[in-house]
Amino acid sequence: MTSAETVDPSDSLERLWWLNTVGVLARPKQVFDALRDTSDEAVDARQEPITAVVILCGIATVLVTGAAGRLLDDAVIDGYLIAVWAFLAGAIYGVASYWLAGAAVYLGQRGAGGTGDYQQARHVLAYAAVPLIVWLVFVWPVRVALYGKDLFRTGGSDGGTSRVVFGAVGGLFVLWCLGLLALGLRTVYSWDWRRSAIAISLAVAAFLALAVAAAIILRGA
């Protein structure tokens, strides 16, 4: 029996979806085409890559929040605690955003006449968010090299023009994500660009409504 004959097909499919996590940056249409496959095998194979994407995107997001910029105002917190905080807060924020924003994308595509389910909408969203990982891996280390602990301290040297510049760079990555989301909806549902834009507009409105509702519920609790 050859080694090729002993390979578990599920392992091969999961490896393919790990490769697609990177491949969506270079050949996005091909990756989103593959998301049309909603068989149990395909869905299971992309669960771990999507989980990794969700957590890393969550970390990328929480690192630019006001809360992150004040961590070292507390003398008890050091670099190790910042790393732990970034992972835990990023994981929580990433998972919450995945389900909430995934619901918004689902409602948006349904409002635009799509027939996809909630799970497929979440998967399209996850792969569209991969550019945030590029930001985390390549842009964030540059900020750390330039400003060090000032990134986590009120009134640090990372303010002023530099903050505007890096904010603009971050905005470009968000636009990249939105572009991938539009392409993903267009590819998965065989739409034109106009219909994809309508779906995204509805998804943004739905996300804002869901976020406001969640905030009201949490405040009441």
pLDDT of res. 156 = 72
For residue 97, the tally of other CB atoms under 10 A from its CB is 19
Tokens of 118: 């909630």
CA-closest candidate to residue 127, choices 50, 18, 221, 34: 50
pLDDT digits (tens, 9 = 90+) for 57-68: 999 999 999 899
pLDDT of res. 78 = 87
pLDDT band at 101 (very low <50, low <70, confident <90, very high): very high
pLDDT band at 213 (very low <50, low <70, confident <90, very high): confident
Q: Name all contacts of 76-84 with Cβ < 8 Å and 24+ positions apart.
A: 77/152, 79/149, 82/152
Q: Is the pLDDT of residue 201 over 80?
A: yes
Mean pLDDT calculated for residue range 10-35: 93
pLDDT digits (tens, 9 = 90+) for 168-182: 999 999 999 999 999
pLDDT band at 10 (very low <50, low <70, confident <90, very high): low
* Chain-centre distance for alpha carbon 79: 25
pLDDT of res. 1 = 41
pLDDT of res. 9 = 64
pLDDT digits (tens, 9 = 90+) for 62-89: 999 989 989 988 888 888 999 999 999 9
